[in-house]
Every structure is written in C-alpha cells, then in structure tokens.
A and B are shown apart, each in its own frame.
Chain A
Amino acid sequence: MYPLTRLYARKISGQKLIYIFFACFFTASFFYAFLMGKPQIEEMLNINIGIVGRKNFPEFMMRFYVGTVGILFNVFLMTLFICEEDRNKMLYQPLLHGESRSRMIRSKIDAAVLMSVIFVFLTAFINYLTAFMRWGCEIFEQAAVIRTVMKYLLSGIYMSVITIGIVALCIYTRNTWKTIFSAIIYLLIDQLIDNANIVFLQKIWVGYYFNRWTFTYEYQNIPFSELLIGISIMVLYGIIFFQISLFRTKKVDF
C-alpha cells in the first residue's frame, strides 16, 4: 500500500465515532435477532420472523446499513476527512512534501473506498455473528450463504461507487454543509426514481439496480443479466466520479 494511502487510512480509522457507530450497530443487530420473535414486536414492526429470521437474517439486516444510514455515515466521515481538512489548510500538506495532486487525491479515494468496503464487511460479520448467537448453525445453509455473501459483495461495490461520488462532491463543493445537503438530495432523488415509472431514467440511475437487488430480489437470487448490467452501470459511474475528482483536484486553488 502506498504510504500516503496508509496514512489516510490510519487517519480515518482513528475516528472514535466509527467504533461507537458499529458498537450501536451490533446492539441493533442483537436486539433484532433476540427480540424480533416476540408477537407484539413482530406486529409493531410488520415483519414475519419465519421469513426474516434464521438463514435470511443477515440479508434482512443488510438494509439497515447499506442505503440511507450507510450513505449518511460515509458522507459525515468524508466531509470530516476532506472538507474539514481543506478548511484547516491540511489538505495540501502532502503537496509540501513532494506529493503530486493526483497522487494525493488517489490516496484519499483509495483509503475512502477501502474503508467503505471494510464497513460493509463489518456489518456482514456483525449480522452473521448475532444470527449465529441466536440460531446457531441453522443460518449456514449453503444456497442462502452464497446468495447473502454475493449481495454483501454487491453492496460493497455500490458503497464504493457512492464513496467515490462523495469524494468528488467534497472536492467540488469544498464545503461541509453543501456536501451533506447534496447527499440528502441524492437520497431523496434515489427514492423518487425508484418509485417513479420512468423506465429510461431508472435504467441509467446508479442506485436503481442496487434497490432492485435489495428489495425486489430480497431472499431470492438475482438474474445474471441484471447483475451484469447493474455492475457495469456502477463501474461506469465510479470511473466518471473518479475522473471528476482528478480533474477538479488539478484545478483547485489551495
């Protein structure tokens, strides 16, 4: 790993809020696993433990991180990591030590993507751990495990693309509140496009396929063709966001 990337990764992992967040996530997963079976809770949350429990539990819990909460959490971390550094005049520090602008932003993106993927895998680990504590080996049904791990991998790709998008946004706006607000607008547009019947827009929207994988194909296998198209669209968005970040960094006046 490039030393600057390692330095940035260490800087992000030093944020105490990350550990608090995942401790809370573990508590949430634990409560859901152990208390969801109570009839009054099932009725209140409008869920059926027979469907969402056991082998399906890790997939059910995925929606609590990947999506709104995960994106907001990543936005807050990235604004702390980029916008606040920029405001404190720390962003260009590596340039004083002979690093190039493009190397600096590549390292930032590498560290951010690495962290977002680790977070997704951490949620997967937490959900499997609590499910194992509650139902034991019942959760390890081969087909379900392959399907769930596949969905977590796809979530990792989606969250990486969104993270690169957030980095591009941070570099473009160079302002905390504008970045946070733009991310909230993105989440609302994502929801609107998902609910609307504009087929053309849906086909080219970065979040559309992920929403289909999470909700339409919940506890089911995803068709190969849809998988291929979805990943291609996400990778395309990822490349565009990456190029925007590089282009903008070259133009930035520190």
Chain B
Amino acid sequence: MITRLLSIQYVRLKRQKILYLFFVVMAVVIISNALECAGSSEEGGMGYYAGGRFPTMCMQSYIDIIGTLFLSFISAVLICGEKASGMFQQPLLNGVSKKQLLIAKTVSIFTVALICFLFVAIVSIGTGFFLWGSHIFDDVREYSLQMILLAFPQITMVLFFVFLSLYMSNIPGMMCASLIILLVNNLLSQFFGSYISFIDFMYYLYAFSGYNGMKLTGKIIISGIVVNIITGMVLVYGIRRRTNHMTM
C-alpha cells in the first residue's frame, strides 16, 4: 500500500511545473554567481569563492533562503494545499491509514530535497569545472564533507516543514510562517550562535555550510549531529501526535 501511495505522490510531484522552474532558477543563480566570482578580485569578497570554494558558495545560496523556502513551498502544496482543497483525506477512503499517508508525503518531500540538493551540487561543480578547470577539485574534501553533513539539518528541516504544514491551513500562511522562522533563525544564528547551537537544528544549516566563514570543528560536527537527531525524534513524535488527533 505504501509503495502505491508513494508512486501516486511521485506522479503528482513530477507534474508540478514549479519543480522544473526551480531547476531553471537555481541554474541561473549558480551561473550568475560563477560569473560574479570570476569577475571579482579576492579582496572584493566574491573572488574568495572562485575555484575550489565555489560549490560551498552555491550551497550557501541554496541553504540561505531559496532552497529552504522552496522545500517549505513543496510541503505547503502537498499538505496545506490538499487539506484546503479537501483532497488530503481522499486516500483514506481507499483504506489507507493516516500514518501511511503522512509517511508517503514525508518520503516524497525528502526525495525532492535530495534531488534539489544534488542538482545544486552537480551544477555548481560542472559550472566551476567549465570556468576554472580542475581547480574546482582543490577543496573537494572540504565541500564533500559539508555536503554529507548538510544532509542532517536538511532531513530535520523537511520533518519540521511537514510538522508545520499539519498546523497551517493554507499555502500563503505556511510560507509566511516559514519566512518569519527563517529570518528569526538567521538572526539568532548571527548573534547568539554559541548559545543556540545547543538547541537549534537550523543553526547547523549555516554552520555546516561554512556561512560567514564558520569553521567546521569536531565539536560542531558532533553537536550538530546530536541536536539534529534529537530534534528529528521530537518532530516525528509531534507529527504522529498531530496526525492521530487531526480531524480530516
């Protein structure tokens, strides 16, 4: 049953034109970043990211606002939009449980997050290779580690958006709430990074992508993984609780 539900979700996602538009937009952002880096001196700021650090810069632009808002949008469309149009409970009429439905939706949002992230990684490396040749692999160990570590906060982020979507009743409301949460988190990460790193999983979106020149240390990596796992477990519990109490 869950496989059938997943295939329905994937078919629905494949039909979302916004997914393809997002790829076009991200490709334009990456190419424009690359041209800006190539045309700037290292002292000018952007030139610092030319060459081996370019994939890191693209990950930062993706993580900063575009990617997270996009994932929020996908969650909003798949959950809030369907709830508002009365389509959310349709599969329940065919014997599917609420839990299976939520698992199928969460897994499909995870897949979108993975595809988008891989797209950014591949296109940034490809564009970098085209502009700077093999220099793009100068810092390959650093950005590979960042990419692997970023999987943790992104998984937690998806769970958080699913959780939030279950509480919000429409797409704009969900998007507005996500924007506010992202801005507050950005603010807290800048000013109180050392304190909120113990409780805020979103801080690690910045910490793991080397935002504002943050260095990856063993302590940050371990605390990031632990905070994300604990928050993920709390969110899963919250999603289950909300799903069980939700009136369809």
Q: Which residues of A contact B (CB under 8 A)?
A: 17, 20-21, 24, 27-28, 31, 35, 41, 44-45, 68-69, 72-73, 76-77, 79-80, 83-84, 87, 176-177, 180-181, 184-185, 188, 191-192, 195
Q: Which of A21, A45, A72, A76 has its CB near the most chain B CB atoms (within 10 A)?
A: A76
A17 neighbours in B (Cβ, 8 Å): 173, 176-177, 180
B77 touches A177 (CB 8 A): yes
A185 to B17, CA, bound (A): 14
B28 neighbours in A (Cβ, 8 Å): 188, 192
Instruction: Say yes or no: is B184 at the interface (Cβ < 8 Å to chain A).
Output: yes
A79 touches B25 (CB 8 A): no
Instruction: Say yes or no: is B175 at the interface (Cβ < 8 Å to chain A).
Output: yes
Interface pairs (18), CB distance under 8 Å: A17-B173, A24-B187, A27-B187, A31-B191, A35-B191, A44-B212, A73-B176, A76-B172, A76-B173, A76-B179, A77-B172, A77-B176, A79-B171, A184-B25, A184-B69, A188-B25, A188-B28, A192-B32
A72 neighbours in B (Cβ, 8 Å): 69, 179
Measured between C-beta atoms, what is the minimum distance from B83 to chain A in Å?
Answer: 13
Measured between C-beta atoms, what is the minimum distance from B32 to chain A in Å?
Answer: 6
B190 touches A73 (CB 8 A): no
The 9 closest A-B pairs by CB, nearest first: A80-B172, A76-B176, A79-B172, A76-B172, A176-B171, A17-B176, A28-B187, A76-B175, A31-B191
Measured between C-beta atoms, what is the minimum distance from B27 to chain A in Å?
Answer: 11
B190 touches A44 (CB 8 A): yes
Instruction: Say yes or no: is B148 at the interface (Cβ < 8 Å to chain A).
Output: no
Contacting residue for A180 out of B175, B177, B183, B184, CB 8 A = B175
A80 to B177, CA, bound (A): 13
Task: Say whether, besides A41-B190, A44-B213, A181-B21, A21 and B73 are in contact (CB < 8 Å).
Answer: no
Which secondary structure characterizes the binding site on chain A? helix
Across the interface, name the chain B residue whose C-beta is closest to A182.
Answer: B21
B212 touches A45 (CB 8 A): yes
A230 to B213, CA, bound (A): 37
A83 neighbours in B (Cβ, 8 Å): 172
Q: What 1/0 flags go to B161-200 for Cβ under 8 Å of A? A: 0000000001111011101100110010011000000000
A-B contacts besides A27-B187, A177-B18, A192-B28, 7 pairs, CB < 8 Å = A20-B180, A79-B171, A87-B85, A176-B170, A177-B73, A177-B171, A188-B25
Measured between C-beta atoms, what is the minimum distance from B168 to chain A in Å?
Answer: 10
B179 touches A73 (CB 8 A): yes
A222 to B28, CA, bound (A): 32
Instruction: Say yes or no: is B29 at the interface (Cβ < 8 Å to chain A).
Output: yes
B36 neighbours in A (Cβ, 8 Å): 195
Measured between C-beta atoms, what is the minimum distance from B98 to chain A in Å?
Answer: 25
B190 touches A24 (CB 8 A): no
A176 to B77, CA, bound (A): 10
A188 to B29, CA, bound (A): 8
B170 neighbours in A (Cβ, 8 Å): 80, 84, 176
Instruction: Say yes or no: is B216 at the interface (Cβ < 8 Å to chain A).
Output: no
Across the interface, name the chain A residue whose C-beta is closest to B193.
Answer: A44
B171 neighbours in A (Cβ, 8 Å): 79, 84, 176-177, 180
A185 neighbours in B (Cβ, 8 Å): 21, 25
A24 touches B172 (CB 8 A): no
A44 to B21, CA, bound (A): 34
B172 touches A45 (CB 8 A): no
Across the interface, name the chain A residue whose C-beta is closest to B45.
Answer: A46
B183 touches A31 (CB 8 A): no
A24 to B185, CA, bound (A): 10
Q: What 1/0 flags go to B22-45 for Cβ under 8 Å of A? A: 000100110010001000000000
Across the interface, name the chain B residue whose C-beta is closest to A18.
Answer: B176
B66 neighbours in A (Cβ, 8 Å): 184
Measured between C-beta atoms, what is the minimum distance from A101 to chain B in Å?
Answer: 23
A41 neighbours in B (Cβ, 8 Å): 190-191
A68 to B182, CA, bound (A): 13
Measured between C-beta atoms, what is the minimum distance from A37 to chain B in Å?
Answer: 12
A76 to B173, CA, bound (A): 7
B184 touches A24 (CB 8 A): yes
A28 to B187, CA, bound (A): 7
A225 to B32, CA, bound (A): 31
Measured between C-beta atoms, what is the minimum distance from B202 to chain A in Å?
Answer: 15
A35 to B81, CA, bound (A): 40
Measured between C-beta atoms, what is the minimum distance from B195 to chain A in Å?
Answer: 12
Across the interface, name the chain A residue whose C-beta is closest to B77.
Answer: A177
Across the interface, name the chain B residue whose C-beta is closest to A29.
Answer: B187
